[in-house]
Structure 1
Amino acid sequence: MVRMRHWGPVQSLLALVPLLIGLPWLALKHQYSLPTPIVDQYNPITSLPQLSEATILQYAKHLSEDIGYRTPGTREHALADVWMTEKAFQLQAECERVVASQPGRKLQCEVWRQEGSGSHRFDMMAARLYKRYVNLSNIIIRLSDGTDRGKADAVLINSHLDSTLPSPGAADDALAVGVMIECVRVLVNTPGWEPKHAVVFLFNNAEESLQDGSHLFSTQHPIASTVRAVVNLEAAGTAGPELLFQATSHEMILAYSQVPRPYGTIFANEIFSSGVLLSDTDFRQFEYYLNVTGLDMAVVGNSYMYHMRGDLVENIEAGVAQHMAENTFALIKHLTSPNSPLPGLASGYGRPRTVFFAYLGFFFVYSFRTAEVLYALLFIASCVLVRSAGGPSARGATMAKALLSVALGGLGALIGANAVAFMMQRVLGRGMSWFKGEFEPLILYGPAAMCGALLTQLPLAPVPEKALLHAQLLAYAFLAAAGQFAGVGSSAVFFLSAASTFVALLIDRVTSYLSASTVDDAGMAEKMQDGDAKGAGDRHKNVDKAEAKDGFVSLWTYALGQTVPLLTGTQLTSATLVVFVPLTGRIGSEAPAEYIIASIVAILGSYTLNFTTPFAHRFDRPALRKAVVILLLVVSVVMAVFARKEVFDKNHQKRLFVLHKEDLNTREQHLHIAAADGAPGFDDLVHDITAHFGADGVPPKAVVMDDWNSDWDTLYPFSAFLSPYKVDLPLDPAYDAPWPPEEQFMVSAVNDALDESKGTRTMTLKIDHPGIMWTVIAFDAHVLEWTLDNSPPEEFARHHIKEASFYGTDVWTVDMTIKWPPPPNAHPRSSGVNGLRVNFIGIQEKRMWPAKKAEADGSQAMKLFREFDAWLDEKTGGSVDALLMGCVSGEVVV
C-alpha cells in the first residue's frame, strides 16, 4: 500500500472528498427513497388487486377537505363517522360478493359501529389529567376465516378518523385511514387469501382528544380480548418513509423484518421510550388496557405541517402513502399467516432484548446476548491490536495522551457548538435562525463544533496519528461493550464505528508489514550479494522500523475506517434533525432549543466525522493553527449570515394560539395570544395585534402559566408550553348573550349530600354545555373517591377534567366524594369560599377559524377572526399559522 503522508492538508482532503460526499449521498438516497406511486387498483397485466396510492389519497382528500376539520364534538366529526360507517358496510358487501363467487373460500367480514361513554386518567408532561367522553364511536372491521379458532388470536391495525383543532388532518391521520381501507379491499379481492388468524381494523374516532376512541375499544368492545398485537399507524409529518419508532417485543420486531421497505432503528425506539419526545399515540391505550405488544409507526418528515393548516393532501410527498401501505400490507399478511407469532403472544410477552436497525435498505436483527458477545470480542481484539503495535504509538504515556486528546476533541466540539448557540440567542438575539431547514443547523453549528474540537488539540500537539486512531478504536469498542452490557441497544452505533476502524487499522498493519518485508528482502539480497552476512539478521529490525514509521498511516486507512461512520452517522444525524428541528417550534419558549440542536450537531457530527482529531495530528502544529483560524473565520461568516435570516416562512410557519374568550360572569371579552417557541419577534407581534384589535390605550398583559391559570385549560396540559398574553377587547354596547338563559353553559351540583360526622361531601357535578365542545372543569379538593379513577391523590390538590363527546351531546357528569370542609392550608383561591369553586371553559362549536370559515355565524368572535386572519397573513407574509378559537368560560361555587 502506498503511503501519502507527504501530501499536505489540502491535497489530503481533496483525495478524501469523493468519500466525504459520496457516502452521505448514498446513505440519504437509501434513507429517503420511496416507492413509485401506483394509480390503478388492479394490475393491468395480471388483473390482480394492488395497493393504489391514488385511491388512498382520494380518501384522505375527501376526509380532510371535502368533510374538513374533524375535531371530536364538531358536525364534521359526525359526518366523518357517517362516511366511514357507510364505507365499512360497503367493504363488507364487497367481501360477501367475492366470497359468494369463490365457493369454499374461508373468509368472513364483520363490521361494528361501536358507541359508548367512559373515562380514563391521562398523565402527561408530569401533569395529572382526567378524561370524560360521552357517546363517542368507533368503526371496526374484522377479517377472519369464520371459525372460532381463527378469531381467537387477532392482530389489530389502528388509525384515527378525527383531526385536531387547527388541522384538516390529511396526513394525521386520514392517510392511514385510506391505507387501511385499501388493505381491506386488496385482501378481500386477492384470490385464495384466507387468514389463519384474524385481522381487526379499528378506525377509531377520537385520538386527538387524548386517545378516547382507543380507550373505548380497549375497555368496552367484545372482541378486544382477542387482540394479541397492535400495529398503530400515525403521522407527525407529510414526507419521507414511515418510521418504526416503537417496537415492544422481539416477536414483533421479527415480524417487521418481513416488510419490503424497513425504516427504523433501536436508536429511535430508545429515544421515544425515554420520554425525551413529548409525544404519544393510541398505542398507549392498547398497551395499558389490553396488555399487548406491537409496532408504532408514523410518517415524520416535514413535520412543520404537523397539527397545522398545511396538513393537506397537496403537501404529502409522492410515494409516502405507497410506502405505508406496502409495509402495512406485508405485516398483515405475515401476522395472519400460519407462521404468525400471534398464538404465542396469547400468554403475554416480554420486553425486547433485541438490537435492530435498517441499513442501506437491509434490516438487521440480533439479540442482546449476541451483541454482548460480539462487542466484547471486538473490544478484546482491539486491545490486542493496540498492544501489539510497535513504535511510539504503543507506549503507555503516548496512549494516555491520545485518549485524552480524543476525549477533549469530543468535549471541544460540544463546547464550540454551544458557544455559538449562546452567541446567536443571548448576544445577537437571533435564536432558531436555522428553523426553516432540517439540515441548516449543520451549516451553523458544524464548523463551530469542528473548530472547538481542533482548539483542544493545540496544547497537546503533536500526538502520533496512529496512536490517536488506536485510542479512538479503544474508546468506541469500550463504549459499545459497556453500553450493551448496561442494556443500551443503541450501543450498536459505537460497535459499527469501532468495527470499521478495527478493519482499517488491521489492513494498515498487514500492508505495512508486507511493504517493509519487500523493502527488507531487496536490501538483504543486495547485502548477500556483497557478502554481508549481517543482512539476514537485520530483517526484523527493519520491519519494526517500518511498522513504527513516525506513527503515520495511509490515507487509505482513513478511507476504509471512515466508511461505516459516514454511512451510519449520516443516517442518524438526518433522522434526528428531521424530527427535532421542526419540534423546536412547539416545545415552548423556555425550552433550550438552541442548545439542544447545537448539541445534536456536535455529538452526531463528531461521530460521523470521527477521523477529524487524528487527521489534525497528521500534519504539523502550524497547519493545525491555520485550520483553527480558517474555521474561526468560517464560523464568523456563517453566524453573520444566519443572524440576518428570517426564522419563519410560508412553508415553515410559526404557531400562534389565539383565544377569543368571553367571561360569562363579568361579560368581559379578551383575546388570549400565545406562542410555543423561543424565536424572536413574538412580543413585538403581540403589541402590533393589541394596537390593531385591542381596547384603546390598554397594553397587553403577560400572563403567568400555571395550573391555576384557567384561560388555557382547553389545551391543558400542553398549555405548559405556552407563553401567553392577555389583550382587552372593546365590547360592543349592543352585544347580547349568545344563548337564551335556559341554554347557558352551567356547572351545578346535584344529589348533593353533606356528612358532617365523616367530614365528607358527596355530589354529582353536572356540566350542561349546549353548542360547546371540549369543555374543561378545574377545582381544588381532596377527592376520596369518584367515577374517574380508582386511586385519586390522597391529598388536597388541583384537578383538571376534560370532556370530549359526540356532536349534539350537551351534558356530562362526574360523581364524587370529597373531604369537607377544605383544610385550613388550602390554596388561597379555595379559602374563604362557602362551597366548591369550579372554573369551567369550553370551545364554541361554530366559532373556530378556519374550521368553520364557510359557515361563520356572524358572532363577534367570527367577525374578529376573519379580520384577524387576513391582517395576520398580510402582516407576516403568511409566515404565521394561527389557531383561532371562540371560547366561553366562567367560575361558579357549588
Structure 2
Amino acid sequence: MASHRRQWGALSSLLFLAPVFIAVPWLAYRNHRTLPEPEYRLFKPGTNIPQIAESEILGVAKFLSEEIGYRTVGTEEHAAADQWMVIQANKIKEECENVVAKTGRKLQCEVSRQQGSGYHRFDMMGKRLYKTYNDLSNIIVRISDGSEEGKEHALLVNAHLDSTLPSPGAADDAISVGVMLDCMRVLLATPDWSPKHAVIFLFNHAEESLQDGSHLFSTQHPWAKTARAVINLEAAGTTGRELLFQATSEQMIEAYSHVPRPYGTVFANEIFSSGIILSDTDFRQFEQYLNITGLDMAIVGNSYLYHMRKDLVENIEPGVAQHMGENTLALISYLTSDKSPIPDLAGGYTKPRTVYFTYVGRLFFSYSFATAKIMYGLLFLASVGLVKFTFAEPIPKGSGLWTVQGNAAKAVSLGVAGTFIAPNVVAVLMRQVLQKNLSWFSDPLAPVVLYGPACLLGALVPQYFFVGKIHERTLWTSILLMQTFMALGLQWMNIGSAALFFMSSLPLFIVTVINPLFVSGSGDVALISYALGQIFPLLTSSLLGIPTLEVFVPLTGRMGAEAPSDHIIAILVAVLGAPAFPLAIPLMHRFGKRALLRGIIVTSVLAAGSIAFFSARDPFDAMHQKRVFVLHMENVTTSEQHLHLAASDGAPGFEILVDEIVREFGTTDHAPAPVIMNDHNSDWDSLYPFSAFLTPFKVPLAVPKNYVSPWVNGRKFSIYAIEDEKDLVGGTRSLKIKIDHPGLIWTVIAFDAHVLKWDLDDNPPDEFARHHVKEASFFGTDSYELSLVIKISPETNPDGKLRINYMGLQEKGIWPAKKAVKEQGGAAMELFERLDNWLDEKTGGTVDALLMGCVGGVQEL
C-alpha cells in the first residue's frame, strides 16, 4: 500500500511544480510567435549579396489587394490582375536578358501567358461536382540554363493571383505572388546562381473557382510534363510561421530540411490528409494530373480573416512574408542545384514513410518508419524490463506484478476517459442548456480555459475510488508502459503521429531510471522527478497544440449550425491535454484521499467559474467576426425577388438578427421559418457544396411596378438547346445545351437526369441523379456549351425532358468589391449599401457579410 507521509503537501508540491506548468507552455508560445525581422533592404548591408525583402513582397500584396482589389474570377479586376502580371513577367525576362548580356551567365527566362478552356470533376465535402471553365489564363515564367537538358526536369512553384468572393486576398494569396516575384529577383541578382534544373513559376489565375487555373496548366501547358515536383504556396491566415502541412515524398522532406526556418510536422500532414480540415489547395490538381510529389505550405495563424474582408496587408503580422520568402528561396536554390533529387523523380514517386517534425526553433528531425519501429520497440522492451526488475512495492497476496500493473492501467484509463467525458458534458451544458455555444470562438486559446478545468476534473473523479489501493509508483510505471505501447502500436499501423507518444515516454523512461538518485526508498517517486518528467511532454504538446488550436478554432466555428462545434473543440482540448500531463494521475494519488477530495472541489469551482465566465461572453468582435451570407436573388422565371440570409455557424442570436433585417428591409413583419437546405435548393447553388453548412432564410422583397428586368430584356440570361435528337427506340436523348450569361459570373446549372454520356468526364453516375455544373470564365466571356446524352426512362423521365435550375452572380453586383461602380449594380447594390451600413452599426462591426446580387430561374428543355 502507498504511504502518504511526505515532506511536501499538495499545495506546496503544486507550487514547486508551478514554474514547469507556466514556463514550458510560455516557451512554446514564444517559440510559436517568433518570426524573423522584416527586411526592407534588397541587398545585405555592405555586400552585393541580394536578400529577400519583406517590403517588396508586401508591396506586391498591397497593390493586388488594394489598388486592383477583389480579383474574383470573371470580374474586370481579375482581368486587370492578369494584365499586371504579364507586365511583371516581361520585366523579369528583360532583367534576365540584361544579366546575361552583362555577365554571360547561363540563364534563360521564358514567359508564357496561357489561355484556355476545360472541364474537370471536383468532388468536395462528399458531394459530386463538375467544373467547366472558359478562356481562363495563367502566367508562367520558366528560368533555366538555356539547355534542353536543363529544361528536361523542372521544379514547379505555384501561387494564385485571384481572390475569393468576399475577400481582397492580401494573404490569400497575394503574399505568395509577392514571394515568388522576390525569389526571382534574388535569384537573378545572385552572381553564382545558375539552375542545373529549370524552375517554373506558375502564377495561376483561378484557384478560388475550385482550382481551374492549376487544372488548365496541368492538363494543357507543354511545360507541365517536365515538372517533377511542386512547391505550392498558400495562406489561410495572416500571422505566424508558414506551415508545411503536406509533404508527399521522402526526397521532398529531405529538401525541406535545408530551409533556414523549418516549421512542419508529420502530425500536421496526417491531420490534413485525414480530411478533417475542410479545405483544399492547387496541390490536388498537380498530384492528380501530373502525378508529382511536392510540398504544400501555408500561412495559417489568425485564420479568422481567411476569406474575409479584412484579409489586408495591415493585418499581416511583420515577419510573416520574410519567413515565407526565405524558406521558399532556400527550397528553390536547393532543388535547382546539382544536389537536387528532381531528376530521380522523373519516374514517379512513392508516398513517404517518414516521421518528421520541427522542435523548438530551427531543429528539424526526420527518420524512417522502419527506424521508428525499431526505436519504439526497443523503448517498449526496455520499459517492460525496467518495470519488471525494479518493481519494489509488496505485491498483494494472490496477485502478480502484471495484475497490479493492470489495476493501475484501469485507473489510468478511467482517468483518460474522464478527461474526454467531462468537457463534453460542459459542451452539452453550454450548447443545449445555456444556449451559449461558440462562446470560445474569438480566441484560439479560450477553449483551454473553458474546457481545461473540466478535463482535469474528469481525470480526478475516477481516482477517488482508487486512492490508497494502488501505489503511486505503480501508476507512474503503468503510464510509461501504456505510452511506449501506444507509440509502438500506432507506428506498426504506419501512423507517423505515434512519435507524440514516443517523445513523451522517452524522457519519462529516463527520469524513471534516475529517480532513485533523488529518493531514499526504492518505491518512492521524487517530486523533482515529476518536474523533470513533465517538461518534454508538456513542451511537445504545447508546440503541437498552439498551432492546432489556431487552425481548428476559427474553422470549426464556421462549420455550420448543425455541426457539433462545441463537442469537436472539447474533444480537441482533451486530445491535446491528455498527453501534455501524463503524470497528473500518479500525482493525484500522492497525497491521499482527503487531498484528492479537496482537489475535486477546487477543480469543480474552477470549472463552474469558467462556465459562468464564458456564458457572459460574446463569441464575436471586430477582428473575430461572424460570417453572414446574403443573396439578393432575382428569379427571371417568376419575376420575384428575395433576400436570402444564412450564417456559417451555430452561435445563438442569428434568428433575432434575421428578424430585425426583415423588419427593416423586407415586406413582412416577421422572419419566415428557415428553408430546408438540400441538393435541390438551387437558390444557394453559387456556394454549392459549401451551402450544405448553411441554415438559410428566404425573405420576399417588393418589386417596383415599373421594374423591367435587364436579365430578361437586353442582357438575357438564357439556356437553350442548339442540337437536340431523340432516339425513342434506344431510349436516349442527345442534346447540346448553350448557356448565355452576359454580365453574370460563376453561373451554375443543376438538373436531374440519368446521364449516359457527356463531355465533362468519361464516367457519369450510372443512375438517375442530381447534377451540379459550375462555370468560371474570363471577363467578357459570356457563354459556354455542354453536350450530353440522357436516358429516357418510363419510371423517371418518360418524356425525356430536362428541367434545369440555373443561377449566376452579377459581375457588378458584389458588395463591397464593386462599391466603386455601385450605380451599375441596380437594385441589389442599392440594398446592399444600406444593409451593410445597417449591419455594421447594429452589430458593432462584429459581422462580415458576403453580399451577392444573383439572377436565377428554371428552364425546361
TM-score (norm. length: structure 1): 0.94
Q: 1:243 — aligned with what?
A: 243
Q: Match of 1:844?
A: 810
CA contact (8 A) 1:120 1:788 kept: yes
CA contact (8 A) 1:445 1:601 kept: yes
After superposition, give the CA deviation of every residue in 1:332-365 in whole Å (9 maximum; x if it has no partner): 0010011100010001110000000000120000
Over residues 628-684 of structure 1, what are the superposed CA-to-partner deviations in whole Å (9 max), with x where a residue is unaligned? 001111111111111000110100000000000000011100000011111111111
**AA in 2 matched with 1:489:** G
Q: Which residue of 1 aligns with 2:181?
A: 181
Residue 594 in structure 1 maps to residue 566 in structure 2: yes
Residues 1:50 and 2:25 are matched in the alignment: no
Would the aligned equivalents of 1:436 and 1:652 in 2 still touch at CA under 8 Å?
yes
Distance 1:316 1:299 in 2: 10
Q: Give the Cα–Cα distance (whole angstroms) in 2 for the partners of residues 696 and 411 of structure 1.
A: 51
For residues 498-544 of structure 1, what are the alpha-carbon distances to aligned partners after superposition, in whole Å with 9 as ceiling and x for unaligned? Answer: 101100000013555xx5xxxxxxxxxxxxxxxxxxxxxxxxxxxxx
Contact 1:115 1:138 in 2 (8 A): yes
Is contact 2:733–2:800 with CA below 8 Å preserved after alignment?
no
1:662/1:888 contact within 8 Å kept: yes
Corresponding residue SS for 1:854: helix
1:856 Cα shift? 0.3
Is 2:426 the counterpart of 1:420?
yes
Contact 2:61 2:175 in 1 (8 A): yes
Q: 1:752 aligns with which of 703, 720, 724?
A: 724
Structure 1 residues 98 and 636, CA gap change in structure 2 (3 angstroms): same
Q: Which residue of 1 aligns with 2:408?
A: 402
Aligned partners of 1:759, 1:629: CA distance in 2, in Å? 75
Map of 2:366 onto structure 1? 365
Corresponding residue of 1:725? 697
Matching of residues 260-659 of structure 1 within 5 Å: 260-361=260-361, 362-392=363-393, 395-462=401-468, 463-509=470-516, 512=519, 546-548=521-523, 552-659=524-631
The answer to whether the 8 A contact 2:158-2:233 is kept is: yes
Task: Name the amino acid aligned to 1:76.
Answer: E
SS at 1:776's partner residue? Answer: strand
The answer to which of 282-291 and 19-28 deviates more is: 19-28
Distance 1:155 1:844 in 2: 39
Which of residues 849, 855, 859 is equivalent to 1:888? Answer: 855
Matched, 1:225 2:197: no
Runs of 5+ in structure 1 lacking a partner? Answer: 516-545
Q: Structure 1: how far apart are the matches of 2:609 and 2:192?
A: 65
Report SS of the residue matched to 1:113.
Answer: strand
Q: SS of the counterpart of 1:608?
A: coil
The answer to whether the 8 A contact 2:732-2:790 is kept is yes
Do 1:700 and 1:728's aligned partners in 2 also have CA atoms closer than 8 Å? no
Match of 1:805 in 2: 777
Give the partner amino acid of 1:346. Answer: A
Q: Give the deviation of 1:389 after TM superposition.
A: 2.1
**How far off is 1:393 after superposition?**
7.1
Question: What is the root-mean-square deviation in Å for CA atoms of aligned residues?
Answer: 1.3
In structure 2, the CA distance between the partners of 1:836 and 1:705, relative to structure 1 (3 Å rule), is: same
CA distance in 1, matches of 2:49, 2:249: 34
Write the deviation string for residues 482-513 of structure 1: whole angstroms up to 9, x where unpaired: 1001111100000011101100000013555x
Shift of 1:271: 0.7
- Write the deviation string for residues 450-493 of structure 1: whole angstroms up to 9, x where unpaired: 01110011111122111111000000000000100111110000
Greater Cα radius of gyration, structure 1 or 2: 1
Q: What SS does structure 2 have at the residue aligned with 1:758?
A: coil
Distance 1:142 1:834, change over 3 A: closer
Paired residues of 1:159 and 1:173 also in contact (CA < 8 A)? yes
Instruction: Give the secondary-structure state (helix, strand or coil) at the position aligned to 1:547.
Output: coil
Corresponding residue for residue 533 of structure 1:
none
State the partner residue of 1:234.
Answer: 234
**What is the TM-score with the length of structure 2 in the denominator?**
0.97
Written as runs of structure 1 = structure 2, the 5 A alignment for 1:42-191 is 42-103=43-104, 105-191=105-191
1:668 equivalenced with 2:640 (yes/no): yes
Amino acid at match of 1:722: L
Measured after TM superposition, the shift of residue 64 of structure 1 is 0.3
For 2:575 and 2:7, the matched residues in 1 are separated by 31
Q: Report the counterpart of residue 527 of structure 1 in structure 2.
A: none
Indicate conservation of the 8 Å contact 1:752/1:762, yes or no: yes
For residue 873 of structure 1, the aligned residue among 831, 840, 847 is: 840
Q: 130-139 or 609-618, which moves further after superposition?
A: 609-618
How big is the shift at 1:48?
Answer: 2.1
Deviates more, 1:647-656 or 1:9-18: 9-18
In structure 2, the residue matched to 1:857 is 823
Residue 534 of structure 1 corresponds to none
CA distance in 1, matches of 2:454, 2:574: 9
SS of match in other structure, 2:390:
coil
**C-alpha separation between the residues in 1 aligned to 2:441 and 2:309?**
18
**Distance in 2 separating the partners of 1:239 and 1:586:** 19
**Contact preservation (8 Å) 1:5, 1:553:** no
Residue 739 of structure 1: how far off its partner (Å): 4.5
Distance in 2 between residues matched to 1:790 and 1:183, nearest whole Å: 41
| SS, match of residue 419 in structure 1 | helix
Q: Find the aligned partners of 2:729 and 2:800 in 1 and give their Cα distance.
A: 18
Distance 2:461 2:48 in 1: 66
Aligned counterparts of 1:431 and 1:238: Cα–Cα separation in 2: 26
Per-residue deviation, 1:73: 0.3
Contact 1:5–1:555 (CA under 8 A) maintained in structure 2: no
**Equivalent pair of 1:589/1:676 in contact (CA under 8 Å):** yes
Find the counterpart in structure 1 of residue 398 from structure 2: none
Residue 11 (structure 1) aligns with: 12
SS for the counterpart of 1:615 is helix
Structure 2 residue identity aligned to 1:686: V
Contact 2:66/2:168 (<8 A) preserved: yes
Please tell me whether the aligned partners of residues 4 and 554 of structure 1 are also in contact (alpha carbons under 8 angstroms).
no
The count of residues paired between Structure 1 and Structure 2 equals 850
Partner of 1:774: 746
Give, in angstroms, the shift of residue 192 of structure 1.
Answer: 1.7
Q: Aligned match of 1:819 in 782, 788, 791?
A: 791
Encode CA deviations 1:406-426: one digit per residue, 9 max, x unaligned. 111110111111111111111
Partner SS state of residue 687, structure 1: helix
Q: Report the CA distance between 1:698 and its aligned residue.
A: 5.7
Distance (Å, rounded) in 1 between the aligned partners of 2:799 and 2:591: 78
Counterparts of 1:862 and 1:781 in 2: how far apart (Å)?
36
Distance 2:814 2:728 in 1: 46
Q: 1:143 to 1:806 in 2, by over 3 A?
A: same
Shift of 1:571: 1.0
Within 2, Cα distance between the matches of 1:293 and 1:396? 47
Q: Residues 285-319 of structure 1: CA distance to partner in whole angstroms, max 9, x if unpaired?
A: 00000000000000000000000001000000000
Contact conserved, 1:585 with 1:654, CA < 8 A, in 2? no
**Aligned-residue offset at 1:740:** 6.3
Tell me how far apart the structure 1 counterparts of residues 776 and 558 of structure 2 sit (CA, whole Å): 23
| Deviation of the 1:6 alpha carbon | 1.5
In structure 2, what residue type is equivalent to 1:488?
Answer: I
Of residues 315-324 and 390-399 in structure 1, the stretch that sits farther from structure 2 once superposed is: 390-399
